[in-house]
Amino acid sequence: MADRDPGAFEQARCPGTSWEDILAADDVPPPAFMAEDRSQYLGSEPIDAARYYSPEFFKAECEKMWPAVWQFAAREEDLPEPGDYVTYDNAGRSYLIVRQEDGSVKAFHNVCLHRGRKLKTDSGSAEQFLCPFHGFSWNPDGSLRNIPCRWDFAHLTDSKMQLPEASLARWGGYIFVRDNAEGPTIEEYLDPLPEFFKRWRHEECVTVAWVAKVIPANWKIAMEAFMESYHAYVTHPQLMPFTGDANAAYHVLGRHVNVNYTPFGVISPHIEAQAEAEHWPQQRIIDEFRKYNGRSADNYDEDKDNYAIRVPEGRSARAALGEKMREVSEKQFGGDYSGVSESELLDALVYNVFPNFAPWGGFMPNIVYRWRPWPDQDKCLMEVRVIARVPEGQPRPAGVPMHMLSDDQIWADAPELGVLGAVLDQDSENMALCHEGLKVSKNQAVELADYQEVRIRHIHQTLDSYLNA
């Protein structure tokens, strides 16, 4: 880490209104942890461009990092009934995540113990896992079910042919898998996320949209596009009338966890002067929010127009939005939202769990990102889920299946994403061109901002800790 005056880092913030100032002005204060400044200075050295395209670096990730980390493999609603399974592939390994008769979940290595064929390439429900090559089969609990011509395999016992298990953990409605048997518990790994998310109860949510697309870029390039708001002014200019991009906060929370808090319902500092010169009313913030915000429940139900509101005289757009969202949330999901802050109903609270899992916090429908190499360092599979609360008193439904876009489709071709699809398409162009550019960069260096891009530096330092272990 480069030497630097810590006081200078404290000044590395956008002049004017801060994240903390915005929270302090809200009608309802958020949880204390959201207002606590947990930023860190992690150095100013450039990142080696080869980390994104080198086959050797990718091989090191596959051998030293991916087997040692907890990976988000499924949501509970993806496999609601006994016998339901999800196939999870990543970095050359394949797992079967299977719901058991007692409601527990197990993870098996998705490989036939006869000749090594993958048992499954899909997700669904099964009474047995039958290898399509020679018919060896296993029960949902991993025990051997049948070997055709068993007389020719006297050397194979049932215990020897039990499907090998991977480590599995469950938290907050999410199911995680890890190849290595040894390592931290999921609570230790996610710290402090379990404490933070107690309030938001993702285990009470269900997947209402799930779209995936293969991106022609390294998985880290795709992930890093969603780890800072610094890009929004140029990449997403339509968001500036209601997004405090340069007001955002960046906190390093633990070895594997960091967060970007970006306020909505306020004008970007980049266009504040324009807004003042043109005498923008607070109502304009609301109107632009309604058109381009990609996270309200309205975006997933075209028959609703819950945010067609007027800003009362003397009120800010942010306060009016918060008040309306409390009312709408109580109507849609039940419960008492009077003590819920504007920030938890409105802002982008984007957490990242190393290496590739990013759940949004708060009480609105939550975006959940995941990125995986697909299959190598030059492409990745990017997945965007939206989870929403199950209304009080209603049974928990099964989640929707993944909608896989073809190579010639864009995110906007997925109607279930609403206006979010167009925002993702703006990001996707950057990803592909970054990957191309880094391969031919003359100085082979990626330069990062000390504050706004500290989350990117943090994940690279965590990655190094695994590669150098």
Per-residue pLDDT of 29-82, as tens digits, reads 999 999 999 999 999 999 999 999 999 999 999 999 999 999 999 999 999 999
What are 446-450's contacts with CB under 8 Å, separation 24+?
446/46, 446/47, 446/48, 446/49, 447/46, 448/44, 448/46, 448/47, 449/12, 449/228, 449/230, 450/4, 450/9, 450/12, 450/41, 450/44
Phi first, then psi: what are they for 133, rounded to 5°? -85, -60
Residue 175's pLDDT is what?
98
Q: Give every CB contact of residue 97 below 8 A, 6+ residues apart in sequence.
A: 73, 74, 78, 79, 85, 86, 87, 88, 105, 106, 107, 168, 175, 177
Spatial separation of the C-alpha atoms in residues 385 and 198, rounded to whole Å = 20
Spatial separation of the C-alpha atoms in residues 258 and 142, rounded to whole Å = 36
| Mean pLDDT value across residues 402-414 | 98
| Mean pLDDT value across residues 404-421 | 96
Instruction: Respond yes or no on whether the N-terminal peptide bond of residue 132 is cis (omega within 30° of 0).
Output: no
| Mean pLDDT value across residues 399-417 | 97
β-strand partners of 130 = 137
Kindly state the percentage of the chain with pLDDT values over 90.
Answer: 90
For 18-32, write each residue's pLDDT tens digit.
999 999 999 999 999
Residue located via tokens 């797992």: 95
Contact (CB, 8 A) for 454 and 40? yes
Residue 282's pLDDT is what?
94
With H, G, I as helix, E, B as strand and everything else as coil, classify residue 215: strand
Contact (CB, 8 A) for 89 and 373? no
| Mean pLDDT value across residues 263-284 | 95
Work out the burial of residue 225: count CB atoms within 10 Å of its CB; fewer than 13 is exposed, 13-18 middle, 19 or more buried. Answer: buried
Contact (CB, 8 A) for 186 and 72? no
Residue 299's pLDDT is what?
47
Q: 167-171 and 366-373 as β-strands: parallel, antiparallel, unpaired?
A: unpaired
Closest CA to 242 of 309, 298, 317, 315: 317
Average pLDDT, the chain: 94
pTM, full prediction: 0.94
For 293-317, write each residue's pLDDT tens digit.
766 545 445 455 666 788 999 899 9
Q: Give every CB contact of residue 193 below 8 A, 6+ residues apart in sequence.
A: 253, 257, 351, 353
pLDDT at 220 over 80: yes
Residue 293's pLDDT is what?
79
Closest CA to 240 of 210, 300, 199, 285: 285
Residue 187's pLDDT is what?
98
Chain centroid to Cα 323, Å, comes to 27
Residue 306's pLDDT is what?
66
Q: How many CB atoms lie within 10 A of CB 11?
A: 9
For 371-391, write each residue's pLDDT tens digit.
999 999 999 999 999 999 999
